[in-house]
Amino acid sequence: MTIAVSTTPGQPAAADWVRRLPEYLAIWVPLLLSAAHLIAFTLWTIWISFTPSTLVPVSGWVGLRNYSSVAASRNWQIALDNLLLFGSAFVLLSLATGLILAILLDQRIRGENLLRSIFLYPLAVSFVVTGTVWSWLLNPGLGIQKLVRDLGWTSFRFDWLIDRDMAIWTIVIAAIWQSSGFAMALFLAGLRSVDADLIKAAQIDGAGPIRMYRRVILPTLWPITITVIVIQLQFAISTFDLVRALTNGGPGIATQLPALVVYDLMFQRSLLGRGAAAAVLMLLILLAVLLPYAAWRYVQRRRAIDA
Amino acid sequence: MPITTTRRRLLAGSAAALALPAFARAQGAIKPRLTAISQWSAGSDGAAITALGKKFEEKGGVWQHSPVPGFTTEMMNKLRAQIMAGDPPACSQLKGPEIAAWSKIAPTVDLDAVVAAAGYEKVVAPDLAKLHKPGGKWIALPLQIYSTNMLFLSKRAMDKAKADKIPVTWAEFNDLAEKMKAGGVPYPIANGGTRADDGQKFEAALAGISPTAYRAAIMNLDKKALEGPEIKAAFVQVRKIADWMDPNVGAQHFSTNLKRFVDGDMGMMIMGGWAQGVLRNAGFKFEDFIIAPGPSDNSKPVFLLNADAFIFWQRKEPDLQAGQTLMAQLVMDPAIQTMYSQITGSIPVRTDVDLSGEGWSDGQRRTAAALKDAIASNQAVLSLAHNMAQENGMTAAIIDVITEYVKNKTIKPEQAAIRLADAVESSR
């Protein structure tokens, strides 16, 4: 004879609920608190962006003046151009690098674990460190250019860091180094979860490796690709510490990015209202990325339910 | 050490403080305590403020200094947070027009009585005094003075150029740079890559060309002066300087390259007097470099004034109030100013301090003499790059134009001058 511990007849359901109360508290209280923080501070920032606040927040109403002055400023225009270039280059290249690394690692090679750790390792390094190290490596007087020249190729040039047209690419390089391991890890997990029967069926049908990847395996990675793109994009939009350590917006103001402009306006120039306006504009850019993603997820889920 | 003077001054200070009821309560058996925030944590700056704290403790006070390392802005963020939380420090580092701006957001201490008791007003440069009493009352005290346009000459680079004459005008400066280049100095101008660094090149150029134009354009933001020929000439000079700089420095701090300067790979440096403290702190000798006033086309020294200061925030606690009085007295004390400046490489705020004695460098004596001459010929102006001439917002807008021009050699001087005027116009 067995006695069910939790559902003994006669015990009220309330007791069960009471026993599980700590679990509910542990989940819901922090969740609600962080949601409240997030929403409150977002609303607060939006409010500040319509006030004439400078050194400290003050009440008042200036309409869209903060927005128009941010939008008209040269720093913001440069930042937007850079974001477009950096965002697309970084996302596409890190995606491609991550995918290639994952496919190569997927060939059941020896030392896979070690290689995987090595590729993932940069993710464990803070962006400030990444930026600083790359600023040395890319510095023509100290890093790669000097190394190659010292080896004998005296006309070698790699001075992107100080070239105002190319400097933004140095940030792309460092960012890819940092995060393609992350894309690789996700892709690798996706590759490993592809149905073995599917692969066997394709092999029986006589598909070569390239054809198999193109027609059978890669299409199943589509959801992972979307996830990686969204995560990398929101990272690209909020990039701050990497640029600050690597170029600090320079040479001149050539590598400004929106997050740098926000910081600069709020804390360097003590223009809280304008800084908040720039921050809200950043939020809008982020929403422009996240809302289509949310919509796509919603459609996917509906399809899954319907199917 | 003139300890007797200090004691007498302290007595005078306490007598004056007793006249005020708020301070009267603070005196007595209470142990003066001071909460202070500054950005000075390391190097000669850190050493100097630590020494100041020791003196504070010697006088029976409790010294609670919280340094916020990094740039002034980081320190300001902490200050802002503390003020908004209703818990401002008893005193904090703040300077230039920011004193006036920040004094509007929280009540400050009226220091008039303490300042009068010390007879301080007579020994401070008038332009400087004005910044520290924005509403007509002293609320902040300058601590030390630097000139941002001192010219540092590397002895080894001078040897390479076979030159021994210190350049006085921009023409002589340019000649020497050419000679250095010909003599094998790869980069005749030492530099960092920060915004302030670029800003300093421009302010040195413009003030050296015409202090009058500098005052009108940069300090008073006069539209006509901003469109005047001197601005263009300054940009032309800055381009020359930029061509002699090492483009590889990226966003580095100037101090990163000091060794190359001493070694003679970089020839001349336009930098504030603080570089002397940094050089000495890094173990370099006075024999390695010469310090002279920056180039001035009318041959009379131009002094781009940069003064660090403390602002005092109102506190109700009697021990903090007593601490503020004690701190104010210490900051104004000639012996303390001497000690402080000797550590950092600055010059004292008090114009009556004698720099002929031991512990002062030739560079400091030249700086002090330059200040005296510049005040006499009305050529002491406030530094833009170090936030003395304008509030942060305006300064940043102007420096944007300058730093872009320094790094982007396709921008023509005329274009830069137009952009500068536009930037000022849109930031008013």
pLDDT in tens, B172-198: 999 999 999 999 999 999 998 888 999
Query: What pLDDT, in 10s, does the model give residues B78-117?
Result: 999 999 899 999 999 999 999 999 999 999 999 999 999 9
Q: By CA distance, what is A251's nearest residue in B?
A: B407
Nearest Cα of chain B lies from the Cα of A70 at a distance, in angstroms, of: 11
Is A75's Cβ below 8 Å from some Cβ in B?
A: yes
pLDDT above 60 for B14 = no
DSSP label of B249 = G
Farthest CA pair distance, chain B:
69
Q: By CA distance, what is A136's nearest residue in B?
A: B250
Mean pLDDT (chain B, rounded) = 90
Tell me which residue in B193, B391, B400 faces A74 most closely, judged by beta carbons. Answer: B400
Nearest Cα of chain B lies from the Cα of A269 at a distance, in angstroms, of: 4
Q: By CA distance, what is B391's nearest residue in A?
A: A269
pLDDT of residue B252: 83
Rounded to an integer, the average pLDDT of B345-351 is 92
Report d(CA B266, CA B285) in Å as an integer. Answer: 17
Residues of B in contact with A250 (CB under 8 A): 193, 250-251, 403, 407
pLDDT of residue B10: 53
Is A135's Cβ below 8 Å from some Cβ in B?
A: yes
Is A143's Cβ below 8 Å from some Cβ in B?
A: no
pLDDT of residue B89: 96
Residues of B in contact with A247 (CB under 8 A): 250-251
pLDDT of residue B340: 95
CB contact under 8 A, A251 and B396: no
- Vertex B199 angle, CA B102 and A243, to 5°: 85
pLDDT of residue A4: 45
Residues of B in contact with A253 (CB under 8 A): 400, 403-404
pLDDT of residue A155: 87
CB contact under 8 A, B404 and A142: no
In order, the DSSP letters of A228-295 are HHHHHHHHHHH--HHHHHHTTT-STTTT--HHHHHHIIIIIS--HHHHHHHHHHHHHHHHHHHHHHHH
pLDDT above 70 for B350 = yes
List A residues 93-122 in contact with B (Cβ-Cβ < 8 A): none
Q: By CA distance, what is B428's nearest residue in A?
A: A69
CB contact under 8 A, B250 and A161: yes
CB contact under 8 A, B400 and A270: no
| Axis crossing angle, helix B195-209 with helix B392-407, rounded to the nearest 10 | 90
Q: What average pLDDT values come out for chain A (307 residues) when binned by 10 residues?
A: 49 76 88 94 95 88 92 92 94 94 88 89 88 89 88 88 88 92 92 86 84 85 89 90 87 90 88 94 91 89 85
Is A69's Cβ below 8 Å from some Cβ in B?
A: yes
Mutate to test the interface with A, among B201, B249, B418 (most CBs of A within 10 A): B249
pLDDT of residue A269: 86
Report d(CA B372, CA B377) in Å as an integer. Answer: 9
Mutate to test the interface with A, among B39, B195, B245 (most CBs of A within 10 A): B195
pLDDT of residue A12: 61
Nearest Cα of chain A lies from the Cα of B407 at a distance, in angstroms, of: 5
Rounded to an integer, the average pLDDT of B388-412 is 92
Alpha helices in B119-251 (DSSP H): 126-132, 155-160, 170-182, 195-209, 211-214, 223-226, 229-243
Report d(CA A137, CA B142) in Å as an integer. Answer: 42
Q: By CA distance, what is B392's nearest residue in A?
A: A269
| CB of B423 closer than 8 Å to CB of B393 | no
* Nearest by Cα to A171 from A181, A161, A179, A186: A161
pLDDT of residue B160: 95
Three-state SS at B308: strand
CB contact under 8 A, A254 and B407: yes
CB contact under 8 A, B407 and A75: no
pLDDT of residue A13: 67
pLDDT of residue A159: 86
Tell me which residue in B101, B105, B396 faces A268 most closely, judged by beta carbons. Answer: B396
Report d(CA B266, CA B375) in Å as an integer. Answer: 32
Is A159's Cβ below 8 Å from some Cβ in B?
A: yes
pLDDT above 80 for B20 = no
Report d(CA B143, CA B176) in Å as an integer. Answer: 35
Task: Please give the interface size between A and B, counted as residue pairs whose CB atoms are below 8 Å apart.
Answer: 79
pLDDT above 80 for B25 = no
Residues of B in contact with A270 (CB under 8 A): 76, 101, 391-393
Is A56's Cβ below 8 Å from some Cβ in B?
A: yes
Is A141's Cβ below 8 Å from some Cβ in B?
A: yes
Residues of A in contact with B410 (CB under 8 A): none
Residues of A in contact with B248 (CB under 8 A): 139-142, 159, 162
Tell me which residue in B105, B193, B393 faces A269 most closely, judged by beta carbons. Answer: B393
CB contact under 8 A, A253 and B80: no
Nearest Cα of chain B lies from the Cα of A56 at a distance, in angstroms, of: 7
pLDDT of residue A9: 54
Residue B126 vs residue B201, higher pLDDT = B201
Farthest CA pair distance, chain A:
89
Is A269's Cβ below 8 Å from some Cβ in B?
A: yes
Is A251's Cβ below 8 Å from some Cβ in B?
A: yes
CB contact under 8 A, A56 and B83: yes
| CB of B105 closer than 8 Å to CB of B338 | no
